[in-house]
Amino acid sequence: MKLNRLQPKLFSCMKSYSKEQLVKDIISGIIVAIIALPLSIALALASGVGPEQGLYTAIVAGFVISFLGGSRVQIAGPTAAFASIVAGIIAVNGFDGLIVATVLAGIILVIMGFLGFGNLIKFIPRTITVGFTSGIAVTIAIGQIKDFLGLTFTHSPVETMEKAAEIVNTIDTLNWQAALIGILALAIMIVVPKFLKKVPPSIIAIVVCSAAVKILDMDVLTIGDLYQISSELPKFSMPDFSLGTVTAVLPDAFTIAVLAAVESLLSCVVADGMIGSRHNSNMELVAQGAGNICSALFGGIPATGAIARTAANIKNGGRTPIAGMVHAIVLLVVLVSFMPYASIIPMPVIAAILFVVAYNMSEWREFAAIVKTMPKSDIFVLVVTFVLTVVFDLVVAIIVGFVLATVLFMKRMAEVTDVHGWISEEEATDIRFKTIPENTYVYEITGPLFFGAADKIAELVNEAKKGAVIVRMRSVPAIDATGLHSFNRIIKSCKKKGITLIMSHVNEQPMKAFVKSGMYDAIGAENFCDNIDEALERASSL
C-alpha cells in the first residue's frame, strides 16, 4: 500500500473549495448537529453510559473522522449498532474496560487501513449484514420497552432474552403516564415528518413531551432522575493498559473494530451512490481508527459512520468534510451551553427515539425480500445470523454466519465444477465434431478445482488403458493444493500405464500452480497445448 494513496478527502476537496460550498457545508453541519443531538444522548443511554458521553463521541470522533476520512460526506458518531455491545462490555469490564477496548479497536482499524483491508467489505455476504443489523434492531427495541412503559425491574438483566423475560415478569408495574408520554413521542415522530420536512421530529417530541411532563407534574422518570448531567468539556484521560485488562477486552476490541469497519464502509457506499463520488476505503478505516482512539481518550464510546446522519448531510447540501467538522463544533457549543436542560427529557421519549432508530435500521423490507426470493441456503444464513444476534451476541452471530456462508458457497462451487469425457469419435459432438485419434480420451473440466471439488477428477484416467489422455481446462479459473494433489495422482497413474497426459488451454493461475509444484516438468512442456486442436494434433503424433 503506497502511503500517498492514504490521503484524507479534505485535502483534495480544498483544492477547488468555494465560498458558496462553505455556506452550504455550514448550514448542513448545523442541521445535522440538531439531528445528532437527541440521537447521541439516546444512544449513550442505551449503551449504559451518561448522556454527555454520547456528545463527547459525536464531537471528538465526529471531528477527527471528518478531518481524516476517506469520504467527502461521512458523518460519524455513536450508532445503534454499538449499543448492546457497549452495554455488555461495561457490565463485565466496567467503563475503563470499554475505554481500553475502544482504543485497541482503533489501533486495529488503523492497521487494517494501512494493510489495505478496506476492499474486504465486499466479501461479507449481504445475508450476514442484513441478519445482524435486523438482530441489533430487535435487541435495541427490547431494551427500550422498560423505559417506554415505565416498568420497574426487580433485576438488572444484561442479555436480550433476560430483558425480555424481565419485561414479562414485571409487566404489572406498568406506569400509564410514562406509556402515554412514550406513545405521544412516538406519534409525533411518525406524523411530523409528513408535514414538516426540515425540522427533526425527535427535537419536537423532546420539547412537547418535556413540557407536558413538567407542566402536568406527571409521574415520569427523566434523564436527570437517573443520571448526573455534566456540561464539562471532554477531558483527556489515559486508561490503565494492564496486561489483564487488555487480555480481557481484546475479543471485544476485535468486535468493535469489525463492526466499525463494516458500518462505516457500508455508509460510504450508500453516500457514494447519492453524490456520484468514490470514497477511499482504506483511508476511511484509518480515520475510523483515529476517531475511536481519540473518542475513548476523551471519555467517549465507540463511533462509526452513521448512515442516517450522512444521508441528512447530503440532502442538506453538505459535500465536503467541512460539514462534518461544523456538526462536531455545533455539538460542542450545545454541550457547554445547553446540556443541563437535558435533565428534563423524559425517559419514555428517549425510548421512543430509539424505537424509531431500531425500525429504520432493521432493514425489514430487505429481510422479507431475501426470504421471498433467495435460495434456501441464503435464507438459512440470514435467519441463523439474526437469531444468534438476538439470543447470544454479535460476535457469535458473525462468526457462525460467516462459517455457514463460506461452507454453503464452497458447496455451490463444488456443484458447479464438473468433468465431461469423450472417449470415442462418436461422442465428439461436444467439441465441435473434432476428430479424436484412436486410443485418445478427451476430458473437459469446468469450474474451479479446489478441495470441495477435487475428488471429481481423482478417477479421471481409470477408463484409459493406453495412448493419450487430453485434459481440457479452458473453464478452470483456479486450482488449489487439493486439486494439485489430485492431478499428481493422475500423473502417477498415467506414467504407470504408459499413457501420455496432454493439457489443453490451461489458464494463468492453474499454470503458475503447475510450474511451482513441479508438475509442469513432470507432464512435460511439449504436452501443454494452447487449445484443443493442438492437443489433438499432439495426440495424433503419438
**Residue spans per domain, the chain:** 20-363, 418-541
Beta strand residue intervals within 492-535, DSSP E:
500-504, 528-529
Cβ-contact 53, 271 below 8 angstroms? no
What whole-number distance in Å separates Cα of residue 427 and Cα of residue 319?
Answer: 64
Please name every residue paired with 222 in a beta bridge, in sequence order, or none if there are none: 346
Sign of the torsion angle spanned by Cα atoms 64, 68, 71, 72: positive
What whole-number distance in Å separates Cα of residue 521 and Cα of residue 353?
Answer: 69
Q: What is the pLDDT of residue 458?
A: 66
Provide CB contacts within 8 A for 488, sequence distance 6+. Answer: 517, 519
Dihedral Cα 198, 200, 203, 207, nearest 10 deg: 50
Please name every residue paired with 419 in a beta bridge, in sequence order, or none if there are none: 445
CA distances from 189 to 83, 200, 232, 309, 353 (A): 21, 8, 30, 16, 8
φ, ψ for residue 301 (rounded to 5)? -120, 175
Cβ-contact 468, 539 below 8 angstroms? yes
8-state DSSP, 18: -
8-state DSSP, 400: H
- pTM exceeding 0.85: no
Cell triple for residue 164? 425480555
How distant is the alpha carbon of residue 437 from its chain centre?
56
Residue with C-alpha cell 516438468?
A: 521
DSSP H helical ranges for 238-301: 243-275, 281-297
DSSP codes of every residue in 288-311: HHHHHHHHHHTT----EE-HHHHH
Q: What is the pLDDT of residue 424?
A: 44
What whole-number distance in Å separates Cα of residue 401 and Cα of residue 98?
Answer: 26
What whole-number distance in Å separates Cα of residue 266 and Cα of residue 372?
Answer: 24
Cell triple for residue 445? 473440466
Q: Which CATH number is 418-541 given?
A: 3.30.750.24
Burial 438-454 (b: 16+ CB within 10 A, else e): eebbbbbbbbbbbebbb
Provide CB contacts within 8 A for 119, sequence distance 6+. Answer: 281, 282
pLDDT tens sequence for the chain (542 residues): 444 578 999 999 998 899 999 999 999 999 999 999 999 999 999 999 999 999 999 999 999 999 999 999 999 999 988 988 999 899 999 999 999 999 999 999 999 999 999 887 767 888 988 898 899 889 989 999 999 999 999 988 878 899 999 999 999 999 999 999 999 999 999 999 988 877 889 999 999 999 999 999 999 999 999 888 888 899 999 888 899 999 999 999 999 999 999 889 988 988 998 898 899 999 999 999 999 999 999 999 999 999 889 988 998 899 999 999 999 999 999 999 988 888 999 999 999 999 998 898 888 899 999 999 888 889 999 999 999 989 987 778 888 988 898 888 888 777 777 877 764 444 444 455 567 888 888 888 888 888 777 677 766 677 777 889 999 999 899 999 988 988 888 888 888 889 999 999 999 999 999 999 999 999 999 999 999 889 999 998 87
Please compute Rg for the chain using Cα positions. 30
In one-letter notation, the amino acid at residue 468 is A
CA distances from 28 to 23, 81, 316, 318 (A): 9, 24, 5, 5
Dihedral Cα 312, 390, 65, 89, nearest 10 deg: 140
φ, ψ for residue 304 (rounded to 5)? -160, 180
What whole-number distance in Å separates Cα of residue 305 and Cα of residue 291?
Answer: 11
Query: Which helix or strand (DSSP H or E) is residue 422 part of?
Result: strand 418-422
φ, ψ for residue 368 (rounded to 5)? -65, -40
8-state DSSP, 76: E
Sheet strands side by side (includes 500-504)? 418-422, 440-446, 468-475, 500-504, 528-529
Please name every residue paired with 528 in a beta bridge, in sequence order, or none if there are none: 503
What whole-number distance in Å separates Cα of residue 164 and Cα of residue 144?
Answer: 10
